[in-house]
Chains A and B, each alone.
Chain A
Amino acid sequence: DTEVTQTPKHLVMGMTNKKSLKCEQHMGHRAMYWYKQKAKKPPELMFVYSYEKLSINESVPSRFSPECPNSSLLNLHLHALQPEDSALYLCASSQYVDYEQYFGPGTRLTVT
């Protein structure tokens, strides 16, 4: 089973809202990732967790707050977002950092 699940599939939020994106994998992978992808652009790495600890933070604004409650779950907490934050948010996992990644279907986020 190489499935990564993400919820919700779509999210519309106002600039003053607080929402969370969720990601889950049951492959026993020890690394998990958040990406942001704009239309016709490659994924941009945001955060990497390795063994449930934040390993890489690509200078992402503090209105994005990641959380890894356990080895199977990854959350992305959103607060006070801007319209330019509208994008497809992808979660991925890999056995370890540097290994091939398996991506979820993404959450399509629209900030109004």
Chain B
Amino acid sequence: EDQVTQSPEALRLQEGESSSLNCSYTVSGLRGLFWYRQDPGKGPEFLFTLYSAGEEKEKERLKATLTKKESFLHITAPKPEDSATYLCAVWYSSGSARQLTFGSGTQLTVLP
């Protein structure tokens, strides 16, 4: 069964305490893996796109990596303003159709 799973569900960090969020997937025919950030009551904000294993992208304190089975979002020295829900989404081919599945998200809280 095609699945996208994020862990942990929730993460509390002290300011400056680096950590990683995980997005594992069991789909075949990966067309792209996307990371988004969502603040409460707002639409998701695009962060990164990853297409192939070994690919890495960086933006400020965030770095996204991709393997054949999972992606990591590394947060280095987080600040309170990094608090949000982080979502991964996967586009993949299922037969002749394209499918899009979101993970359930990781709610990150960074304490000052």
Contacts and interface: CB of A to CB of B under 8 A. Distances in A.
Interface in A38-74: 41-45, 48, 56
Interface of A: 4, 41-45, 48, 56, 88, 90, 92, 97-106, 108
Interface string B76-112: 0000000000010001000001101011110000000
Interface of B: 31-32, 34, 36, 41-46, 49, 87, 91, 97-98, 100, 102-105
A98 B91 CA distance: 6
Contacts of B102: 42-45
A97 B98 contact: yes
A105 to B, nearest CB: 5
Contact of B44 (A43, A45, A48, A98): A43
22 contacts: A4-B43, A42-B105, A43-B44, A43-B102, A44-B102, A45-B100, A48-B100, A56-B97, A56-B98, A90-B43, A98-B31, A99-B32, A99-B49, A100-B34, A101-B34, A101-B44, A101-B46, A102-B46, A103-B43, A103-B44, A106-B41, A108-B41
Which of A97, A99, A101 lies at the interface centre, i.e. has the most chain B CB atoms within 10 A of its CB? A101
A103 B104 CA distance: 17
Contact of B42 (A41, A44, A106): A106
A99 B32 CA distance: 8
A88 B46 CA distance: 18
Contacts of B45: 103
Contacts of B32: 98-99
Contacts of B44: 43, 90, 101, 103
